Amino acid sequence: MNERIIAFLVHFVTHVIDLGGYTGIAVLMGIESACIPLPSEIIMPFAGYLAYMGRFSLILAATAGAVGCNVGSALAYWIGAKGGRPLVERYGKWVLMNHRDLDRMTIFFNKYGSITVLLARLLPVVRTFIAFPAGIAKMPQFRFHLYTFLGSWPWCFALAYAGMQLGERWHTDPRFYAAFHRFHLVVELALVAGIVWFVWSHVKRGRQMNEA
């Protein structure tokens, strides 16, 4: 991520949390969970830094973050549930998806939705977008929000705790931003590998159907 973009995000996040307190944390984490890539790896460490300064409780900061994740996820889930399936059914061929893929995704979320949402909330990048496919699959909402909270709270707590331990170095220690880059790079590479596999398997299946 470009250094200027990171600097802008840091300024924006710190300003919102400075003004809004716990509500600011919840709002920012809600944005992150509504399929808008606002990094929680900046939001929660700054909240932890303010806990170090005595302005916040670490527990309440993590809880505010997890609550925000649920609020933002509710919007993304609703969009997926109301318009996601018709959209994919109409334009799915452009992203190599069809009715069978939608049915498989629904069956998958019915069987493994809880653990999928729980684990996704513990991963950068993935956590931002998991609510939309859960909505398309119409995973039971109570279960979705329960596991969203259970997965989001330790993630928020761990990042806030890291910010608290960094203390004054949160703004100046280059190791934080280096770790931020490495962390995201690993997940992004894994996502690219997954997309390549998805495209290859669907193209292969299409060729087999044409040959049959």
Model pLDDT for residues 64-78, shown as the tens digit of each residue: 999 999 999 999 898
Range of the domain at 27: 3-171
Tell me if 212 is assigned to some domain.
Answer: no
d(CA 207, CA 212): 9
The per-residue pLDDT for 69 is 93
**Contacts of residue 200, Cβ cutoff 8 Å, sequence gap at least 6:** none
Position 148 scores a pLDDT of 92
- Residue 133 in domain: yes
Task: Give the pLDDT of residue 156.
Answer: 94
Closest among 58, 46, 29 to 149, alpha carbons compared: 29
pLDDT tens for 9-66 read 778 888 899 899 999 999 999 998 887 878 888 889 889 989 998 999 999 999 999 9
Asked if residue 106 is part of any domain, the answer here is yes
In a domain, 73, yes or no: yes
Query: Which ranges constitute the DSSP H helices of 34-84?
Result: 40-52, 58-79
pLDDT at 209 over 50: no
d(CA 121, CA 80): 17
Tally of domains within the chain = 1
Is the pTM of the predicted complex or chain greater than 0.85?
no
Whether 146 is covered by a domain: the verdict is: yes
- 185 burial via Cβ count (<10 Å: 0-12, 13-18, 19+): exposed
Is 165 among the domain residues?
Answer: yes
What gap in Å lies between CA 174 and CA 91, rounded to an integer? 44
**Residue 120 domain-assigned?**
yes
Please report the pLDDT score of residue 132 as a whole number: 82
Residue 189 is assigned to a structural domain of this protein:
no
